Amino acid sequence: MGLFDFISKPKNDVKNTIQETADRSNQQQNFLDIHTGEHWITLYGRKVINRIQHSDGTITNLIEAKVIVVPKGGTMLIGEATPICFEAPDGLDESAIKNLISQIGYMQLSKNSYTYVGRIYNNYDIRMQPPTNAVNNLVVNLTQKLQQENKQKAEQQRTNNEEKIKEGKEQAILRTQESIQKNEEYIKAMEEQKQKNIMNPVIKKMSSVSPAIGNYNGTDMVNGQVLRIRDAVLQDKDRAGTYIYSARLSTTQKETDFEYYDGTHCVTVVFTLPYKLNDILDSQYDIQTKEAYKRAILTALSNGCHSHMPNELTYDDRALFDIGGIDKYCRQVSSKRENGIISDKIAKLQRKYEIEKNRSKQGMER
């Protein structure tokens, strides 16, 4: 019988009936759940794709649908739906379709091809049989169409992924360029601020535990940041009026940055001034003279601090370093002094510092 089946090409009135039947079936998109002892099967997306007139005069609808077959205790995943098709006449009860679908739990189904699962002759005659040649050709056409669609989807997905990757790379390049630009702008702004700070240096007196100890925040004349001058103490002087000071120096970006008060993270120095530090800063000199002294003092201390910093985060605290100073004409004085008396006094202070440092180190080791 199967050799003489054919796909009918009806007249207009019959064709209209086919369309009406297809429309009615196409509206049945509701899910149909089938429970068996071993599987949970969900059928959905039923659609009539053709009417077939067989050699015995019977007419069936070739119906495509999707099924999700879940073993008992498994999880239903919509993405795991597989395409199937079957034949059924008009006017069937849902129970007939359930009876057919309930038998596919152990069939080998594929997401990439349509599987013909059988034919329903009536509500009571349901057969898991292979398709006739004519129906099989329709199933093959469905599979070819599906595979073409899948290929197009995969190609589109590949194209989309390539576009996303390309877009991601372009955005990454743009972000990098923006970051570089912002960094360059930041560096430029910092450099401008540095030059502005150096051109307009300041030195501010900070609180201290004793009037004899001076704490100051000033402009770092090397990098334009903040030079911290701590524990500035007058140690000695000579008869000519050269004053010897010791102090702890460190540099930081902002005044509000964390500060160590234990004597670490700083350079301990000794330097000379032509007058007392407070007298210079609090004097009634004219503005030009006062600015000259202020700039000279900050330059000497900044250079001295940086000369004993191996890098921006490390300070050399091994000794009391003689960093020179300034004279009464605001000139920089080298640590290689011609004044032997001052040099002797500084050497004595350095030996005292070394003894105290060793004593402190021994105490910590105990």
| pLDDT tens by residue, 26-38 | 444 568 999 888 8
Q: What pLDDT, in 10s, does the model give residues 315-352?
A: 777 889 999 999 999 999 987 777 788 889 999 999 99
Q: Give 17: exposed, middle or buried? Use CB within 10 Å, 0-12, 13-18, 19+.
A: middle
Between CA 89 and CA 120 the distance in angstroms is: 7
Q: How confident is the model at residue 300 (pLDDT cuts 50, 70, 90)?
A: very high
pLDDT value at 138 more than 90: yes
Q: How confident is the model at residue 211 (pLDDT cuts 50, 70, 90)?
A: confident
pLDDT value at 23 more than 70: no
User: The tokens of 141 are what?
Assistant: 């056409």
Q: What pLDDT, in 10s, does the model give residues 35-68?
A: 888 899 999 999 999 999 998 999 999 999 999 9
pLDDT value at 20 more than 80: no
- What average pLDDT score do residues 118-127 get? 94
- What average pLDDT score do residues 81-103 get? 93
What sign does the CA torsion over 352, 355, 357, 363 have? negative
Per the model's pLDDT, the better-predicted residue between 312 and 165 turns out to be 165
Residue 312: its pLDDT value, please?
A: 65
pLDDT value at 231 more than 90: yes
Among 72, 59, 102, which residue's Cα sits nearest to residue 84? 102
Q: 3-state class of 40 per DSSP? A: strand
- What average pLDDT score do residues 262-280 get? 89
- What average pLDDT score do residues 270-280 get? 93
Q: How confident is the model at residue 25 (pLDDT cuts 50, 70, 90)?
A: very low
Residue 365: its pLDDT value, please?
A: 58
Between CA 154 and CA 149 the distance in angstroms is: 8
Among left, alpha and beta (phi > 0; psi -120 to 50; other), residue 324 is left
Q: How confident is the model at residue 11 (pLDDT cuts 50, 70, 90)?
A: very low
Strands 321-326 and 267-273: parallel
Residue 282: its pLDDT value, please?
A: 85
Q: How confident is the model at residue 364 (pLDDT cuts 50, 70, 90)?
A: low
Residue 1: its pLDDT value, please?
A: 43
- What average pLDDT score do residues 353-363 get? 80
- What average pLDDT score do residues 134-149 get? 94
Between CA 226 and CA 216 the distance in angstroms is: 10
Residue 283: its pLDDT value, please?
A: 78
pLDDT value at 100 more than 90: yes
Per the model's pLDDT, the better-predicted residue between 28 and 104 turns out to be 104
pLDDT value at 15 more than 60: no
pLDDT value at 2 more than 60: no
Q: How confident is the model at residue 275 (pLDDT cuts 50, 70, 90)?
A: very high
Average pLDDT, rounded, for the chain: 86
Q: How confident is the model at residue 78 (pLDDT cuts 50, 70, 90)?
A: low
The pTM of the whole model exceeds 0.85: no
C-alpha distances (whole Å) from 177 to each of 170, 185, 212 are: 10, 12, 54
